[in-house]
Amino acid sequence: MDRTQKIQQFIEERFLVEFGGEVTAETDLFKAGVIDSFGYIQLMSFIEDEFELRISDDDLLANVFVSLADLDAFVASVAEKRARAGAGQGGVPCAD
Amino acid sequence: MCGLAGFIAPALPADDAPGVITSMLGHIRHRGPDEAGYYLDDGVTMGAVRLSIVGLATGAQPMADPDERYWICFNGELYNHIELREELRRLGRPFRTDSDTEVVLQAWIQWGEACLPRFNGAFALAIRDALSGDLVLARDRYGKRPLFYTDHGDAFLFASEMKAFRAFPGFGFALDPRELASVYALWTPLPDRTPFRGVRQLPVGGVLTVRGDRRSLRTYEELRVDAPAFTGTEAEAAAHVREALRASVELRLRSDVEVGVYLSGGLDSSIVTKLATDLSPHQVRTFSVQFEEASFDESDSQRVVAGHLGTRHSAISVTGADIAEGFESAVYHAEVPAFRTAFVPMYLLSRHVRDAGIKTVLSGEGADEAFLGYSLFRETLLRASWHDLDEDERQRRLAGLYPELEHFGPAHRKHLTGLFRQFSTESLPGLFSHELRYQNGRFAVRLLKDRDEPFADLLAMLRADPGYAALSPVQKAQWLEYKTLLAGYLLSTQGERMSLAHSVENRCPFLDPAVVRAAASVNLRFDDGFEEKAILKKAFRGELPESSLTRPKQPYRAPGAAVFKKQRPDYLDLLLSDAELAKFDWVDPVFARKLVNKIMTTPDEQISTKEDQAFVYLLSTAVLHQQFVLDRERYMGTPSEAGLTLRTTVDHRRARLSAGGTR
């Protein structure tokens, strides 16, 4: 399962939603009534644990994590930074 | 004097009218078991059931003036009836009884509609002018007493509770998906709506005149959440607030029967109890709900306050099984879907109070709206000033917002900062304060098959209000709370409907116009709003136990979905069975099934608040569907033990025919 699928599956199972119909990767998940503050914390914790990364204050300021596409792009960018830094270990698991 | 009903029905056979009005009154007999009466003329039939509180022997209804031109059915209490009676007497108005209903009637005759803003009370009324042919309906300014109306063919029906319409020949209820979406998103119906197609409620502070086919709906008093700033010192402001409350409680102790107090253990009900104790000639009786689950229970605080003030205290202990058992009855009395179960214990409490021989209670509703008690107000202040604060200050204020919610704790502060940043600018025009809550409301709207923009009607209502746009973000938040959650849930579903289910009348000292004005004049003048109800605490420092003044507010809550999961009441089958779920034409069966399955299979601590609320919405709506749409008695809970004692029947029909219409 790739990175995008993992995030999508978490959101679908946790928040009782299916991507592809009314909800797309670009949908603002707050405004669509999919996540609330409790769900947001769950989602952030999932991203940090699953991809072994820490979302910094700077990340929060520079990014708006309200859609699947936002989250996916953020995790991808972290993976890319790590790869560029030449870190052979500790890369983002599941990143394809 | 606690329930009314009536109709204008040209096509109803004349001989049927007495039976129909009697049956309508029978459906709301719990509101007034002491006596009942009705009045008929060639245009209008109306009646009342009465809970005798003031003017026990002389207040029978319907009541007329000496000329029998004006007839009134009055539900509620006029607290300033003594002062108004004196004023009217000086103006030459005649009085034959000592009841407040007669004061209302004479005030109407003297001043017409201009009498309504003079009333300090909790009321809904119907006045028939037999000469002009007008029927006038009106309701108090905060929505303490209900009044519903609807059209059925060429008939116009009105009643204190919608269930009275069940008695009108051929009338049937249908749930309205558009209104359900609004209820699910906002937590309450809009001020003039109900969940049922074509059934309206008279908005708070509203007056409706019916003359023939013409209707005229007006607002006699707009809600005011602003006031000229208090100009004295902080100590003087605290004294001003205290005196307004003292006077309010004194007015609300006017009664020919003993008045008790609902004591939750929080600041507001403790203040009411303190003042009632000071002003009552006898020991005050206080009543509380306790929970077996410690996280919901406030019995320690209740005992401390009752002990400190020397009240005669009694409490009922409510278990999950009690909530599951009382749910159908409480929903039947509430008549609208509910997002919490906290109204069910209030249904059980009023039964206990009635059995204790008490007919009237004071309670603390309205304090949080007037004195900015809810976390929602601090959240609004924080989000509105977000861009003016440095990061440390944001964190500090976030930390104090929702101490009762684990996910607002230190471990998640960073993530919450990111979340709040997204809600620091307005996206729904005029709804800035409620955007976080309302986005959560969209989750429950997903239960519906037909879910157009659920905020459209609310936004239209805000645009139509002349003063709303000029209010500050916090005042807008207050306005919304008064118009929606207070009137549409706290005073009704959790308040009046539950107490009157067992013939107990509630009175709210914090909802006196002078108290609301006092609060508006001192709010945010002497503090920044981040200490909950700071001025109110100052006003009563030294008079209440220190713990009442220092402990953080504990929102009154009761266990939700977990109760039904554990207790498995029969009516849960309405959601567990696909066949039953498919019978609800308003439900999106796919999402409803996912939600129900998640609730039934997930550990309670992993269920989010919005999932819990959506589940309680779904279950309460399913039960309402059985009760009101399908008319299935087995889902209506315990029938009221109240009787219907007809004492007054007045037939003024001149054109009475043995068959056919009266016109």
Q: Which residues contact B310 (CB under 8 A, 6 or more apart)?
A: B277, B283
Enumerate the residues of chain A whose CB falls inside 8 A of the CB of residue B610: 36, 38-39
The CATH code of domain B234-365+491-550 reads 3.40.50.620
Q: Which of B22-31, B119-128, B397-406 shows the lowest mean pLDDT across its residues?
A: B397-406
Smallest Cβ distance to B415: which of A16, A33, A41? Answer: A41
Contact B188, B484 (CB under 8 A): yes
Q: Given this model, what pLDDT does residue B412 score?
A: 80
Inter-CA distances, B7 with A73, B59, B217, Å: 63, 22, 17
Task: State mean pLDDT over B152-163.
Answer: 97
- Across the interface, do B414 and A60 touch by the CB < 8 Å criterion? yes
Element (H, E) at B499: helix B497-500
Among B105-114, B292-301, B647-656, the range scoring the smallest mean pLDDT is: B647-656
The pLDDT, as a whole number, for residue B298 is 92
Q: Mark yes or no for CB contact B419/A57 under 8 Å.
A: no
For chain A, the domains span 3-84
- Give the pair of three-digit tokens for residue B271: 């203040």
Is A48 in CB contact (< 8 Å) with chain B? no
Q: Please report which confidence band the pLDDT of residue A53 belongs to, taking 50, 70 and 90 as the band edges.
A: confident
Q: Which residues pair with B71 in a beta bridge?
A: B64, B128
Percent of chain B with pLDDT over 90: 83
More confident residue, B54 or A49: A49
* More reliable by pLDDT, A86 or B383: B383
Distance of CA A64 to the CA centre of its chain: 11
Edge-to-edge strands of the sheet including B70-78?
B63-64, B70-78, B121-129, B135-139, B206-211, B214-219
Model confidence over B452-471: pLDDT tens digits? 789 999 999 999 998 999 99
pLDDT at B573: 97
Optimal mutation site among B439, B600, B615, interface A, most CBs of chain A within 10 A = B439
Find the CB nearest A41 among B412, B441, B445. Answer: B412
- Residue B600 contacts A, CB cutoff 8 Å: no
For residue B612 the two structure tokens come to 């819990």
pLDDT on residue B451:
80
Stretch B295-322: mean pLDDT, rounded?
A: 95
Domain ranges of chain B: 3-172+642-651, 234-365+491-550, 375-482, 561-630
Find the CB nearest A30 among B407, B439, B598. Answer: B439
Contact of B160 with B492, CB cutoff 8 Å: no
Q: Judge whether A40 is closer than 8 Å to chain B, CB to CB.
A: yes
- Asked if the model's pLDDT at residue A93 lies above 50, the reply is no
Amino acid of residue B622: A
Measured between CB atoms, does A87 come within 8 Å of chain B?
no
**Average pLDDT in the B88-108 region?**
96
Asked if residues B268 and B544 have their Cβ atoms less than 8 Å apart, the reply is no
| Closest chain B C-alpha to A58 CA, distance in angstroms | 10
Residues of chain B found within 8 Å of residue A33, distances taken between Cβ atoms: 439-446
Reading the block at residue B250, the tokens are 């004194």
pLDDT tens per residue across span B625-636: 999 999 999 999
Q: What CA–CA distance (Å, rounded) separates B134 from B46? A: 13
**In this predicted model, which residue has the larger pLDDT, B422 or B611?**
B611
pLDDT band at B606 (very low <50, low <70, confident <90, very high): confident
User: For residue range B422-441, what is the model confidence (pLDDT) as tens digits?
Assistant: 889 998 899 999 998 888 88
Beta bridge partners of B507: B362
Residue of B nearest to A17 (CA): B591
B3-172+642-651 with B234-365+491-550: one CATH topology? Answer: no
What is the band of A78 on the pLDDT scale with cuts at 50, 70, 90?
confident
Q: Are B23 and B635 in contact (CB under 8 A)?
A: no
**Predicted local confidence at residue B1, as pLDDT:** 54
Phi, psi of B163, rounded to the nearest 5 degrees: -60, -20
B658-to-B13, B40, B661, B662 alpha-carbon distances in Å: 8, 15, 9, 9
| Residues A1-15: tens digit of each pLDDT | 799 999 999 999 889
Pair B362, B507: CB distance under 8 Å = yes
Q: Which of B342-346, B410-414, B602-606 has the lowest mean pLDDT?
A: B410-414
- The CATH class given to the B3-172+642-651 domain equals alpha beta
Beta bridge partners of B259: B360
Chain A interface includes B598 (CB < 8 A): yes
Cβ-Cβ contacts under 8 Å, B446 against chain A:
16, 33
* pLDDT tens, position by position, B470-492: 999 999 999 999 999 999 999 99
Fold of A3-84: 1.10.1200
> What's the whole-number mean pLDDT along residues B395-399?
87
Query: In Å, how far is B599's CA from the nearest CA of chain A?
Result: 11
Q: Own/partner pairs for B633-640, CB < 8 Å, 24+ apart? A: B635/B328, B635/B332, B635/B571, B636/B328, B636/B329, B636/B332, B637/B326, B637/B327, B637/B328, B637/B329, B637/B330, B637/B331, B637/B332, B638/B329, B640/B29, B640/B30, B640/B501
B96 at interface of A, judged by CB pairs closer than 8 A: no
Tell me the nearest-neighbour CA distance from B529 into chain A, angstroms.
Answer: 23
SS3 content of chain B, % helix, strand, coil (to 5): 45, 15, 40
Contact B1, B32 (CB under 8 A): yes
According to DSSP, the residues that pair with B316 across neighbouring strands are B289
Residue B198: per-residue pLDDT: 98
Strands B259-262 and B360-362, by their bridges, are parallel
Mean pLDDT of B351-363: 97
Residues in B closer than 8 angstroms to A55, CB to CB, are: 414-415, 418
How much is the pLDDT for B402?
Answer: 83
Q: Does A55 touch chain B (CB under 8 A)?
A: yes
Q: What is the phi/psi pair of residue B289, to 5°?
A: -105, 135
Nearest to B118 by CA among B89, B93, B140, B135: B140
Average pLDDT over residues B400-412: 80
Q: Which of B486, B261, B484 is nearest to B367 (CA)?
A: B486
Q: Which of residues 377-396 of B touch A (CB under 8 A)?
A: 391
pLDDT band at B361 (very low <50, low <70, confident <90, very high): very high
Length of chain B: 663
A-B contacts (CB, under 8 Å): 66
Task: Determine which helix (DSSP H) or strand (DSSP E) holds B74, and give its type and residue range.
Answer: strand B70-78
Q: Which B positions 511-530 lie with beta carbon below 8 A of chain A?
A: none
Is B446 close to A40, i.e. CB distance below 8 A? Answer: no
Q: Which amino acid is at A87?
A: A
In our burial notation (b when 16+ CB lie closer than 10 A, e otherwise), range B429-465 reads ebbbbbbbbbbbbbbbbbbbeebeebbebbeebbeee
How many angstroms separate the CA of residue A17 from the nearest CA in chain B? Answer: 8
Averaged pLDDT of chain B: 94
pLDDT at residue A18, rounded to an integer = 87
Average pLDDT value for residue range B152-159: 97
Q: In what order do the strands lie in the sheet with B312-318?
A: B312-318, B285-291, B259-262, B360-362, B505-507
Report yes or no: B25 and B73 within 8 Å, Cβ to Cβ: no
> Sorting pLDDT into bands at 50, 70 and 90, what band is B217?
very high
Tell me which chain A residues have a C-beta less than 8 angstroms from the C-beta of B427: 31
Contact across the interface for A16 and B591, Cβ inside 8 Å: yes
Candidates B240, B255, B241; CA nearest to B53 is B255
Concatenating the DSSP letter of every residue in B596-651 gives HHHHHHS-GGGS-HHHHHHHHHHHHHHHHIIIIIS--GGGS-SPP-----EEEEEE
